Amino acid sequence: MRILLIGDIVGKPGERIVTRALPGLRQRERLDFIIANAENAADGSGLAPSIYRKLMTAGVDCVTLGDHIYRRNEIRSVLESADNILKPANFPPSAPGRTWCVLPAADGTQVAVLSLLGRVFMRPVDCPWHAADRVLAEIPSDVKVRIVDFHAEATSDKQLMGRYLDGRVTAVLGTHTHVATADEQIFRGGTAFQCDVGMTGPHDSILGRRIDRVMETTITFQPTQFEVAEDDVKLCGTIVEADPATGKAISIRRLVLTVDEADKLATQAKPAIPVL
């Protein structure tokens, strides 16, 4: 079975390329399950319920977030009611949202998803390693395919999490830095790993924001709005092929899709044929 994790969706450009590409991409790549990190989908920061619904309609199965999770208060009701959107599992129990979910993939396999926040160069949170242990013990043992979105800044932190969970989960895939890393690999225990799957949004930017605005504020300290950029929009993510019986990863591959490719997919996508 094949699982796609879409990297941090930034603003309207990110949302647009995902909703346009996804139905066709699902067919082309024979995807059974799609996870999207949407922490920057609402104008660059947080997620709005309307965008969550659009992602669902486009075919996203599960939404993960990160340090920007609560930027939009409106998302709270979705976090508290929907069964396919997660908070980082090492947030305190009082924080709105669930820490893991198990959902059916298109091929019938049950897929567990959890997300964790790193602690290096980030806001202080509970220990991600202990949280991972706790959540993995809670997930039913017959759910073999388990995907971890490790939302963290430091590559060392991410490698450590990958090695810590090797053999216990199908994949540890990084988000948050908005820069894809060329280190995709499968560890000895059968866990697929990549430090960061990259950003889905405008790449002619500073991590998705307008270059001029970020530069001005950083260099002159003049306050400006870090508006979402517009150009060179790409969908970045990673596809993991897994054995549903064992939960071990078979392959891992980076995916980069341009707007032109997404448009082509949108025009080629066949409508799903209903099973009679």
User: Does the protein bind Fe ion through residue 177 (CB under 5 A)?
Assistant: no
Residue 181: strand, helix, or coil: coil
- Interacting stretch for Fe ion, rule CB under 5 A, among 1-9, 25-33, 79-87, 123-131? 1-9
**Number of residues engaging Fe ion in binding (CB under 5 A):** 6
The tally of CA atoms less than 13 A away on the side-chain side of residue 44 is 13
Residue of 146, 176, 203, 213 that binds Fe ion (CB under 5 A):
176
Question: Shortest distance, CB of residue 233 to Fe ion, whole angstroms?
Answer: 16
Question: Shortest distance, CB of residue 41 to Fe ion, whole angstroms?
Answer: 10
Question: Shortest distance, CB of residue 162 to Fe ion, whole angstroms?
Answer: 18
- Interacting stretch for Fe ion, rule CB under 5 A, among 35-43, 71-79, 166-174, 236-244? 35-43
CA gap 265, 24 in Å, rounded: 5
User: Does the protein bind Fe ion through residue 8 (CB under 5 A)?
Assistant: yes
The residues annotated as belonging to the active site are 68
Residue of 46, 59, 66, 198 that binds Fe ion (CB under 5 A):
66
Burial 245-274 (b: 16+ CB within 10 A, else e): eebbbeebebbebebebbeebbeebeeeee
The tally of CA atoms less than 13 A away on the side-chain side of residue 198 is 23
| Pair 191, 165: CB distance under 8 Å | yes
- Interacting stretch for Fe ion, rule CB under 5 A, among 65-73, 154-162, 180-188, 215-223? 65-73
**Pairing mode, if any, of strands 233-242 and 201-202?**
antiparallel
Q: Which residue number, 64 or 109, has a Cβ lying nearer to Fe ion? A: 64
Residue of 19, 40, 64, 200 that binds Fe ion (CB under 5 A):
40
User: Does the protein bind Fe ion through residue 157 (CB under 5 A)?
Assistant: no
Residue of 61, 67, 157, 196 that binds Fe ion (CB under 5 A):
67
Closest to 113 (Cα-Cα) out of 152, 147, 164, 85: 147
Q: Which residue number, 114 or 242, has a Cβ lying nearer to Fe ion? A: 114
Rounded to the nearest angstrom, the gap between the alpha carbon of residue 153 and the centroid of all alpha carbons in its chain is: 14
Q: Which residue number, 45 or 224, has a Cβ lying nearer to Fe ion? A: 45
Q: What are the residue ranges of helices labelled H in the chain? A: 11-28, 49-58, 75-81, 128-138, 155-164, 211-220, 259-268
Positive or negative torsion for Cα 127, 130, 132, 135: negative
Residues that bind Fe ion in the complex, under the rule CB under 5 A: 8, 39-40, 66-67, 176
